[in-house]
Amino acid sequence: MSLRKLPEIKAFKALSNMEWQPRTDVVDRWNAGIHAATSDEASISILGEIGGGDYGDGVTSKRIAGALRSIGERDVRVDINSPGGDFFEGVAIYNMLREHKAKVTVNVLGLAASAASVIAMAGDEIKVAKTGFLMVHNAWGITIGNRHDMQAAAAMMEPFDRAMRDLYAERSGSKAEDVEAWMDAETFFTGEDAVKTGLADGYLSDAEIEQDKDSGKRASAIAKIEASMAAQGLSRRERRSLLAELQGGLTYRLLTSCRALTSSPRFAATPKN
């Protein structure tokens, strides 16, 4: 088990008509080019969207489980720069790290938002860049359906929010009502604020972080396009198909599809939580 007695987050049942996606405003603040200056066989990189399933290239619990098996019962370092994503994948990764039998050090290199901030809480020691951010908010997803589907989605998300509230409160030593206020306000904690509130233990040095500006700009741009398409109601399969065509050179078709979203009744009326 972890050196800290961190709370387990129980498994939840997902709705079939609901998708988890990083928020557009969070993706806008994510610098995808930030990464660790060094890595070794006992380090794990969580750089990018949490989840992604069969159609994405995000960070999945399956990949993290494989990495932990390879590391074995040794101290592990987890480097995070992620805008969040799939809540269920985030919870699964958090629980895996929580159950690791040696010390877990989490380094927040750039951003740990939403599901990624849940993962970060699994650290026995959490270090954050002074220029980095931890972001917390209530569960956020995209649901398609009628009013009954909307009500079911709202009811389903309540225990998620309670689980996150209790985790942040336990990790920081803060009162539950204060944490609820953070989540309601969709709070971005600077590195300094994260340490002051107890969500992190200390700072990373500049020498521990590097930035690849060219690849980072490309990855951030793709993430912003996908987040915008998701907010308009496109399924993950549709988004990934269009992005694959873009990367294959069919730019015009993607741009035409994006412009059509703003006038399409199907997507303009899509409700989301």
Q: What is the pLDDT of residues 183-200, one digit of tens each?
A: 999 999 999 999 999 999
Report whether 94 contacts 118 (CB < 8 A).
Answer: yes
C-alpha to C-alpha distance for 265 and 34, rounded to whole angstroms:
38
Catalytic residue among 114, 117, 172, 220: 114
pLDDT at 11: 64
Average pLDDT over the chain, rounded to an integer: 82
Active-site annotation holds for 114: yes
Place 266 in a pLDDT band, splitting at 50, 70 and 90: very low
Res 176 pLDDT > 80:
yes
pLDDT at 16: 61
Lowest-pLDDT choice from 26-30, 131-135, 239-243:
239-243
Kindly report the pTM of this predicted structure.
Answer: 0.77
Mean pLDDT of 222-237: 68
Please name the residue that has the structure tokens 């294959």. Answer: 248
SS3 letters across 192-256: HHHHHHCCCCEECCHHHEEECHHHHHHHHHHHHHHHHHHHCCCCHHHHHHHHHHHHCCCHHHHHH
Which residue ranges form the domains of the chain, and what is each CATH number? 18-212 (3.90.226.10), 214-268 (no CATH)
Report helix, strand or coil for 70: helix
Mean pLDDT of 104-129: 97
Active-site annotation holds for 100: no
